[in-house]
Amino acid sequence: MMHNNLLQAIGNTPLVQVDLQTPCQLYAKLEYLNPGGSVKDRSSLFMIEDAEQRGILQPGGTIIDASSGNQGIATAMIGAIKGYKVIIAVSEKVSKEKLETLKAYGAQVVMCPATSFLQDPNSYHSQAMRIHKETPNSFMPDQYFNLANAMAHYKSLGPEIWRQTEGKITHFIAAAGTGGTISGAGRFLKEQNPNIKIIAVDSNVSYRSTKGHPQPYAIEGMGVDFDSPVLNYDIVDEFFEAPDAQSLAMLQHLARNKGILAGPSSGAVAYAAEQYCKQLKPTDLAVMIMGDSGRAYLTKNFY
């Protein structure tokens, strides 16, 4: 297929069967094969083009956002293509590879301390909000609170999975961070078949899991660490709380035995799928999201 530009190559990622010793059919949606390397290409493009259509992002403007890396990378890539200046505030726990990727796309990076709460004045979200307010002609996609985040996955990821599985999907398993992926794709799938089960994977020590008393965890790119309108709890049938140790161990198993070099949140999702799907039947078909690539984390020695 020939595309007029790189943005048209976002989406239509492969769905590949993976054997994790589960009785059901289990497929991995390889979102790391998007041009920017993650599922966040979808939401970033949708939020930016939504802002353009509404006139709140003007030519020559600046895009500012807070990101654990992947959303920022997608935004930096799209900004480079569309000609916007991009400023990304990141937490200091971001991987070296993600940091260098942001810079390679030409983004200005603002490093912020890791905080327990998004509302902390020093958090990367608070810093991005401050920069946005101080920068004329700027737009902040604000993935944590922008409902267009979930709509992106409702419009693209959900329909793709439905089409690729020929409507046979029975279970959808994805990491929950902002909640965009699980809520958007999950809502679309539920509308096609209300019996489809939506399983959100969260860290076992996140804000949500600990009822407001979060602890540090190693997994990047997931974890419900704040209250957000993007995460639609009515769509989620069950939360699976994944610990760091088992999630990171799954990364090695995927790479060495399945040839899937996936990022930490994908390790958590695969561990959740392996455990959850033990109760399923051979006629069930589960889809799990591999959100990004392990190449973005190699210096963390997870593998």
User: Rounded to whole angstroms, how far apart are CA atoms 51 and 137?
Assistant: 12
Question: Annotated catalytic residue: which of 29, 40, 82, 197?
Answer: 40
> Beta strand pairing status for 85-91 and 62-67?
parallel
> Is 300 a residue of the active site?
no
Using CA atoms, how far apart are residues 303 and 248, in angstroms rounded to an integer?
Answer: 8
Burial of 151 (0-12, 13-18, 19+ CB in 10 A): buried
Q: How far apart are CA 296 and CA 287, in angstroms?
A: 23
Instruction: Say how far apart CA 191 and CA 155 lie, in whole Å.
Output: 12
What's the CA gap between 74 and 230, in Å, rounded? Answer: 19
The conformational region for residue 212 under phi > 0 = left, psi -120 to 50 = alpha, else beta, is left
Cα(226)–Cα(120) distance, integer angstroms: 11
Tokens of 20: 């994790």
Contact 31, 39 (CB under 8 A): yes
Residues with catalytic annotation?
40
